Amino acid sequence: MRRRVLRAACWVLSATALLVLTAASAAAQSVPPPRVEFDEAVRRALDQNPTVAQATTSIARAEALLQQARATTRPTVTAGMTNTTLDNARGFAGGITQPQNQFAFSASASVPVLSAARWATVDQARDQIEVATRSAAEVRQQIAVAAAQAYLGVILARRQIEVDENALGSARAHLEYAQKRLEGGAGSRLNQLRAAQEVTAGEARLEHTRLALRRAQEALGVILAADGPVDAGAEPAFEAPASVAESEWTAARPDLQFQAAVQRAAERVVRDSWKDSLPTATASFDPLFLTPSGLFQPSRTWRFTVTLSHALFEGGQRRAAARLREVGRDQTSLVFTGLQIQARSEVRFAQDSLQMLQRALASAQLAAQQATEVVRITTAAFEVGATTNLEVIDAQRSARDADTRSALAEDEVRRAKLDLLVALGKFPR
């Protein structure tokens, strides 16, 4: 008897725990994700996305390389201490030339007096800082655009849910009317099944749309480096700019500025090639202190040396290096030219596509209004027996499809405005 009571108690506790966990899980799933507005989403993406941080580290690396290049042109000072112990002192004729134990302190200070090639690397390293800075700006724009696209994806999914919910509401109303007619003896089982089929299909379609919304929210959360999905706030108001001069948007586009910096750096490297043929000169000062001193070694000595060197024959290495630099410069020039052509095409296409999509949106919205009116008229005619429910269902489907096309057209216009801002270098602000 006692065992049965214990088993029953354990079963009750297990069931209670399962119910609590199920309720907690359902509650966690029902909590809506945090919502951010468009400007805040872009700002968070730029501040928190790891890709932006990685691009920023390239600037620090370029600055460190500049410090290394500067170090090779500055004086170098070294010091050393040596203690030598022999088995016996060395000498002759009663004099000691090498004491048995001797301590030596030496130092050396050297500075490049003439080193044109090293000095050139300093300016070249400084150019790489600008290249890294421009590259980071381009990465920031890419992350900002990705955040904006993810934000618009959430808005589109949410708008599609509204369309599917409205269509499901109309289908349920039609099913309710068909059910009442069937119960009153004026309808048929076939009409009721057709209406029920539309409701079932609408429910499945709505669940898929909700899944698409969740996927879009997760994508937005990832780009914002958030620990979970993020919902979008209000629809962003993109101001389509008027005509902009090419010189203005060229100076504002990060990709063009980055490639221009790469080309300037390559041109400097080519201009500095002649410095490789110049001689190098180094001056050094080397003091020495010995204790005890030897017969031929005074206690304190110093030496000042100037070294001049020049390669008389190096097998054509300098010429080959200069040629490689010229080829690299030509390649960057060609890339920059191709990027400029592509940029002009992007601007033209963005302007034309925005105008066309705006006209398409107006037509899609008008078609959606007309489809809604068709549903209203067809439903009224069905209720008075002037038509069949097939025409009602067909009108509802057409209205749903027209609303979907209208929602897609709205999204295309928003994205076209964003593309135009990006092409003109006005996003992010």
| pLDDT on residue 383 | 85
CA dihedral 170, 175, 176, 181 (to 10 degrees): 130
- Domain-wise residue ranges, the chain: 33-77+115-152+213-281+316-423
Residue type, 119: W
Hey, which residues does 79 pair with through a beta bridge?
107
Query: Six-digit token pair at 8?
Result: 């029953």
Residue type, 175: L
Query: Six-digit token pair at 161?
Result: 């849910």
Per-residue pLDDT tens for 30-79? 688 999 999 999 999 999 999 999 999 999 999 999 999 999 999 999 99
Helix axes of 50-71 and 38-48: crossing angle, nearest 10 degrees: 40
Low-confidence spans in the chain with pLDDT less than 70 = 1-30
* CATH number corresponding to 33-77+115-152+213-281+316-423: 1.20.1600.10
Closest CA to 371 of 389, 396, 344: 396
Query: Six-digit token pair at 176?
Result: 């309710």
Closest CA to 428 of 82, 89, 103, 137: 137
Per-residue pLDDT tens for 253-297? 999 999 999 999 999 999 999 999 999 999 999 999 988 887 777
The single residue listed with the structure tokens 């209205």 is: 399
Q: What pTM does this model have?
A: 0.83
Nearest-Å Rg of the Cα atoms of the chain is 40
| pLDDT on residue 239 | 86
CA dihedral 146, 147, 153, 155 (to 10 degrees): -150
- How far is Cα of residue 403 from the mean position of the Cα atoms in its chain? 34
Calculate the alpha carbon distances from 10 to 1, 17, 323 in Å. Answer: 14, 10, 85
Contacts of 44 (CB under 8 A, 6+ apart): 36, 147, 224, 225, 226
Q: With beta carbons less than 8 A apart as the criterion, state whether 241 and 424 touch.
A: yes
